[in-house]
Structure 1
Amino acid sequence: MDVVNDAGQGMERAFKALYERYAGPVYAIVIRYLRSPDLARDVVQDIMIKLWERQETFARAHDLEAYLFTAARFRAIDVLRAASRSEALKSEITRQFQDNPPYIDDEALHRDYRLFIQRIVSELPPRSREVFRLCREEEKSYAEVAEALGISRNAVRNSMVLALSRLREATLKEWGSTLPLALLLLGALKR
């Protein structure tokens, strides 16, 4: 790509062209995760500044678009991690999620969330998997699940505790925070 080669040579005009071409799509990815326009704009600025600072590296990049879109996702997740340590940031993200619920047509993000949850749930013992599916995906009460499976209500509760504990651990390990898990379970499983 000529624009990338020009940017690698330090030309501001080329960088401006890169910014104009990619800032919008990068913003679209970040806003899906954060729902906060201010935070999303900050993340886009950070990514584009890094691109400018490391222009020699990107002059040799074969797929700049893939790099930028991956960087956008990872940086948004980093902001969610930071939110777990900052009450102000946590409040801002939570408020934005309440004010701007997930997009109905946001299939890629929804798919990522569902795949993450499915991967963790698939690692559960069979009974816990079935209990989780009935409680979360079919929205049955513990009493209804207990009756359907012929087990006690306490066994249903224990299976759900195990499932949610594993999801919480995996979220903490992969994202550094349990905040995304709460947001995932509220929105992703009800579709």
Structure 2
Amino acid sequence: MYKDTINSAIQHAFIRGERQAFEHIYRAFSRPLYRRILYLVKDPDEADEILHNLFLKIWSSHDQIDPDKNLFAYFMQAANSMSIDQLRKNIRTQAIHDKIGRSGDDDSICSVEENYISKEEWQILESAIEQLPPQRRLIFRLCKIEGKSYKEVSEVLSISTATISNQLVLAMKSLRQFVIQHQKEIMLYCLFLEQLRQR
């Protein structure tokens, strides 16, 4: 059904990197993709973020798409994959908090540890952002934290929206790798606490 709204000319223009084709495809695909993502992750904010990152990811590698592919099916497969990845991440994060909650009977101690993890997670994110290259860090803060549009950032920094899109893709990749690495450190911290209580 949705593939019928995208003819061959639009699909080829998208693969060539034409912004107008991207916008046409976004209008045609975003609503059904959002419904599918929301069905999987059950969280509107997470669904919004996944949808945004999905289009960024595919747009950043548009020239590698097979022109004979069913483009909507290609987007839907990516949406399913990214949603499942998010669910796995949520499960890992919940497992960390559950482990802390089980690590002692003293409610006050558990509360302190949970607050520590919350602050630790925020510090990890801040550290990850600070390690980005200057322009990439600025683009990330303007778009992701301050909520500015590509057009606004393009005008402020005098760079193309395509450059902004590519820099955000690279930033998100770096942040994910950084956070995943430090999630392991948080888990080790939890295991260390448990071993102390068993002594």
Give the alignment's TM-score, normalised by structure 1. 0.44
